[in-house]
Amino acid sequence: MSRATFWIGGVILAVSVSIMVGYGAYFFAEDVLGDSDVPLALRAAIPASIVGVLALLAAALAERLRNRKHEDLEGVEH
C-alpha cells in the first residue's frame, strides 16, 4: 500500500472518531450537566477535569516539540 493510502485512511478514521466522540460528549453534557438533580459540585468538576487533562496534554506536547529541536540522532543506526 502506498503512503497516501495510509494517510487517507488515518484522516477518515480521525474524522469518524471525532464525530462519535463529539456526539457522545453532546449527549453526556445534555443529560448529566443539564440535569438539575445532579449536584452543582459534580456539574462543575466534570468540565474542570476535562480542561485540566487538555492543559496537561498541551503542555506535554509543547515540551516534546521543544525538546525535539535539540535531539542528536547522529549515533543512531537505521
Q: What is the pLDDT of residues 59-75, one digit of tens each?
A: 999 999 888 877 776 66
Instruction: Give the whole-angstrom CA distance, residue 59 versus residue 54.
Output: 9
Please give the chain's pLDDT, 78 residues, in tens. Answer: 788 899 999 999 999 999 999 999 999 989 888 888 989 999 899 999 999 999 999 999 999 988 887 777 666 666
List all residues 6 or more positions away from 38 whose beta carbon is below 8 Å from its beta carbon.
Answer: 32
CA distances from 77 to 42, 71, 73, 74 (A): 52, 15, 9, 8
CB-CB contact of 32 with 38 (8 Å) = yes
